[in-house]
Amino acid sequence: MLRPVAPLDEQDRLDFLNATGAYAGGTLGGLNNVDLWIGGLAEETMPFGGMLGSTFNFVFEVQMEQLQSGDRFYYLQRLDGLHLFGEMENNSFAAMIMRNTDATHLPSDVFSTPGLILETDITKQFNDLDGDGVLESTDPVGGGLLTQLVIRNDPSTPGNTDTHYLRYTGGDHVVLGGTDANNTLIAGIGDDTLFGDGGADKLEGGFGNDIINGGDGDDIITDAGGDDNIKAGSGNDVVHAGPGLDLVLGGAGQDFVFLGTDEGSEVFAGEGNDFIYGNKNAERILGNEGNDWIETGTFDGAPGDNFDEIFAQDGIDGHDVFLGDGGFDEFIGEGGDDIMVGSAGRGKMVGMSGFDWATYKDNLIGVNANLSIPIIFDEAPVLPANAALDEFESMEGLSGTRFNDVLTGTEDVAADRAPLAQGGTTGFRGSVLTAEGIALIQGLQALLGAGVTEFNGGDLILGGDGSDVITGLAGDDIIDGDRWLDVQIGVFASDDTQHTGTPLSLHDSMTSLAAAMFNGTINPGQLSIVRTIRNSDDQPDSDGIADVDTAVFSGAVANYALAFNPDGTVTVTDNTGTDGTDTLWNIEQLRFSDTSVAVGTAAADTLNGTAGAGSDLILGLGGDDTITASTALNVIEGGAGNDTFRFESSAAADGDTILDFEPGDKLDLSGIDADEALAGNQSFTLTSGPAFTATAQLLVSYETRTDGDYTVVSGNIDGNNTNAEFEVSLKGTHTLNNGHFNF
Read off the pLDDT of residues 707-729 as tens digits, 9 standing for 90 and up.
Answer: 999 999 999 998 888 889 999 99
pLDDT level of residue 386 (50, 70, 90 thresholds): low
Average of per-residue pLDDT across 509-530? 97
Residue 490 has pLDDT above 90, yes or no: yes
Mean pLDDT of 509-522: 97
pLDDT, average across residues 378-384: 54
**Percent of the chain beyond pLDDT 70?**
81
Q: How far apart are CA 292 and CA 644, in angstroms?
A: 53
Question: Using one digit for the tens of pLDDT, what is the confidence trace for 425-473?
Answer: 776 677 899 999 999 999 999 999 999 999 999 999 999 999 999 999 9
Give the separation between CA 472 and CA 334, rounded to whole angstroms.
Answer: 24
210 contacts 192 by C-beta, under 8 angstroms? yes
Split at pLDDT 50, 70, 90, the class of 141 is confident
The whole-angstrom separation of Cα 399 and Cα 357 is: 8
pLDDT at res. 722: 83
Task: Report pLDDT for 311.
Answer: 45
- Highest mean predicted confidence (pLDDT) among 376-380, 584-588, 686-690: 584-588
Report the C-alpha gap between 250 and 259 in whole angstroms: 12
pLDDT digits (tens, 9 = 90+) for 144-156: 667 889 999 888 7
Q: Kindly tell me if the per-residue pLDDT of 258 is higher than 80.
A: yes
* Best CA proximity match to 627, nearest among 581, 658, 650, 651: 658
> Measured on CA atoms in the order 335, 373, 464, 275, is the torsion positive or negative?
positive
Cross-sheet strand order for the sheet of 116-119:
116-119, 174-177, 193-195, 211-213, 229-231, 247-249, 266-268, 284-286
Q: What is the pLDDT, as a whole number, of residue 43?
A: 40
What domains appear along the chain, each with residue ranges and CATH number? Answer: 10-89 (no CATH), 108-231 (no CATH), 358-433+452-482+536-593 (no CATH), 484-535 (no CATH), 594-742 (2.150.10.10)
For the stretch 5-16, pLDDT in tens is 455 567 777 777
Q: Are 353 and 421 in contact, with CB atoms under 8 Å apart?
A: no
Per-residue pLDDT, 304: 53
Query: What is the C-alpha separation between 254 and 287, in angstroms, rounded?
Result: 11
pLDDT of residue 35: 42
Among residues 156, 320, 296, 235, the alpha carbon closest in space to that of 221 is found at 235
Quickly state the pLDDT bin for 255 (edges 50, 70, 90).
Answer: very high
Distance CA 341, CA 296 (A): 10
Stretch 110-125: mean pLDDT: 90
pLDDT at site 540: 67
pLDDT above 90 covers what percent of the chain? 50
Q: Which of 349, 341, 358, 343 is nearest to 388 (CA)?
A: 343
Angle at 580 between CA 579 and CA 582, to 5 degrees: 100
Q: Residue 84: what are its φ and ψ, rounded to 5°?
A: -55, -35
Q: What is the pLDDT of residue 379?
A: 52
What confidence tier does 378 reach under pLDDT thresholds 50, 70, 90? low
Better-scored residue on pLDDT, 108 or 541: 108
Query: In angstroms, rounded to a whole number, what is the distance separating the alpha carbons of residues 84 and 487?
Result: 31
DSSP 262-311: STT-EEE--SS--EEE--TT-SEEE--SS--EEES-BTT-EESSS--TTT
**Residue 30 in this model has a pLDDT that exceeds 80:** no
Under DSSP, the state recorded for 684 is P
Q: Which residue has the higher pLDDT, 364 or 503?
A: 503
How remote is the C-alpha of 104 from its chain's centroid? 43
Would you place residue 611 in the very low, low, confident or very high pLDDT band (cuts 50, 70, 90)? very low
Please, which pLDDT band fits residue 607 given cuts at 50, 70 and 90? Answer: confident
Handedness of CA 703, 707, 709, 714 (dihedral sign): negative
Condensed to tens digits (0 to 9), the pLDDT of residues 159-188 reads 666 779 999 999 999 999 999 999 999 999
Q: Is 277 helix (H, G, I), strand (E, B) or coil?
A: strand
Q: Is 452 exposed, middle or buried (0-12, 13-18, 19+ CB in 10 A)?
A: middle
Which residues are paired to 668 by β-bridges?
A: 646, 742
Q: Where are the alpha helices (DSSP H) in 505-606?
A: 514-518
